[in-house]
């Protein structure tokens, strides 16, 4: 099957920021947003895991002073979060780094983004994450905890910021479409005769970037606090 790219011009001239901390999952997303006409800035900066001032500095270095992106696609999976193994083998330090700290990092990054985007009166923020936290997974307690925490944060912030015109959403993608890291994970499997309705994983360049572009456009501005399953119809949750 030949996949068409996102509608050319859907993001014509808009500033799109792709933020990635830790595990690389954004392959293809930045290209897809460029296909849609966006000016794309990719931010991979370890300062994102630091203090509020360091996060602000990382954003300023990437965007310049005061520029507000129309669209942000972000993944904040620190390396510690993605360690695989049973909980009883995870010490307290690793637990905090894997389960709690990614939530705190997401708070700081959202705060810094909000300072730029809320005054602009509109904008779309989309978390991109593996769908595994919605179903849980043995050996991934810290990762599931961190992801669901970030997802809960997304909903809370969507409510707090709704009146500002900034939307915040969550894309839960098939894990192995995001990273080969999850090839080694003991992922929960859907037991149906047709476990994935579309029979394939999502394509990042066209379908994940396309979803993000849609959310940033006029038709997507009424969607906030939503969890959008982009897993080809595997879990169909809720």
Partner 1 sequence: MTAMDWTSTAGLLAGRVAIVTGASGGVGRGLARALALAGARVVVAARSPAGGGETVAQIEAEGGQALFVATDVCDRDAVRRTVEAAVQAFGGLDIVVHNAASTVARPTSLEDIDDALWAEQAGVSLDALHHLAHAALPHLRDTGRGRFLVLSSAQGQHGGAMNPAYTALKAAQRGFVKALAREWGPHDIVVNALAPAALTDAARAYLEADPERTREAMKSFPLGRMGDMRDDIGPAAVAMCSDLWRYVTGQTVNVDGGYYTAL
Q: Crossing angle of helices 101-120/141-161, nearest 10°?
A: 20
CB of 126 to partner 1, least distance (A): 16
Task: Tell which positions 153-182 bind partner 1, by CB under 8 A.
Answer: 153-161
Chosen residue from 60, 95, 190, 228 binding partner 1 by CB under 8 A: 95
Residue 72 Cβ vs partner 1, minimum distance, rounded to whole Å: 15
Among 12-20, 33-41, 88-96, 193-201, the segment contacting partner 1 (CB under 8 A)? 88-96
From the list 52, 75, 70, the residue with the least C-alpha distance to 154 is: 75
Q: Tell me which of 6, 75, 131, 144 binds partner 1, using CB under 8 A.
A: 144
Q: Is 145 in the site for partner 1 (CB under 8 A)?
A: yes
Q: Distance between CA 72 and CA 79 in Å, rounded?
A: 21
Among 15, 57, 60, 100, binds partner 1 (CB under 8 A): 100
| Least gap, CB of 146 to partner 1 (angstroms) | 7
**Cβ closer to partner 1: 73 or 157?**
157
Nearby residues of 206 by Cβ (< 8 Å), 6 or more positions away: 3, 4, 5, 6, 32, 35
Residues contacting 19, CB < 8 A, separation 6+: 43, 44, 48, 72, 73, 74, 75, 76, 109
Give DSSP secondary structure letters for 11-23: TTT-EEEEEEEES
- Pick one of 148, 181, 203, 233: the residue that binds partner 1 (CB under 8 A): 148
Residue 11 contacts residue 216 (beta carbons within 8 Å): yes
Does residue 75 contact residue 63 with C-beta atoms inside 8 Å? Answer: no
Instruction: Write down the residue that tokens 């050996």 correspond to.
Output: 139
Among 22, 37, 130, 137, binds partner 1 (CB under 8 A): 137
With beta carbons less than 8 A apart as the criterion, state whether 26 and 20 touch. yes
The interface region with partner 1, picked from 4-12, 28-36, 123-131, 139-147 by CB under 8 A, is: 139-147
When asked if residue 183 is in the footprint of partner 1 (CB under 8 A), the reply is no
- The CA-atom distances, in angstroms, between 179 and each of 15, 22, 49, 146 are 26, 12, 21, 18
Among 8, 53, 87, 194, binds partner 1 (CB under 8 A): 87
Residues interacting with partner 1, by CB under 8 A? 86-88, 90, 92, 95-96, 99-100, 103-104, 106-107, 110-111, 114-115, 133-141, 143-161, 188, 225
């Amino acid at each position: 099957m030949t996949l068409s790219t996102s509608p050319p011009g859907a993001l014509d001239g808009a500033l799109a920021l792709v933020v990635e901390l830790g595990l690389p999952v954004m392959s293809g997303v930045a290209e897809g947003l460029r296909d849609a006409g966006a000016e794309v800035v990719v931010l991979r900066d370890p300062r994102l895991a630091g203090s509020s001032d360091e996060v602000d500095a990382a954003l300023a270095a990437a965007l310049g002073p005061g520029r507000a992106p129309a669209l942000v696609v972000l993944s904040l999976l620190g390396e510690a979060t993605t360690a695989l193994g049973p909980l009883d083998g995870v010490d307290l330090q690793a637990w905090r780094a894997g389960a709690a700290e990614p939530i705190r990092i997401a708070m700081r990054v959202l705060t810094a983004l909000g300072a730029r985007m809320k005054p602009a009166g509109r904008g779309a923020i989309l978390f991109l994450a593996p769908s595994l936290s919605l179903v849980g997974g043995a050996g991934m307690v810290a990762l599931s905890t961190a992801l669901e925490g970030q997802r809960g944060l997304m909903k809370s912030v969507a409510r707090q910021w709704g009146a500002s015109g900034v939307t915040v959403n969550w894309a839960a993608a098939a894990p192995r479409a995001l990273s080969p890291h999850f090839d080694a994970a003991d992922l929960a499997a859907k037991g149906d005769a047709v476990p994935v309705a579309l029979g394939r994983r999502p394509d990042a360049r066209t379908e994940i970037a396309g979803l993000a572009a849609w959310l940033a456009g006029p038709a997507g501005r009424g969607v906030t606090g939503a969890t959008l399953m982009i897993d080809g119809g595997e879990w169909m949750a809720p």
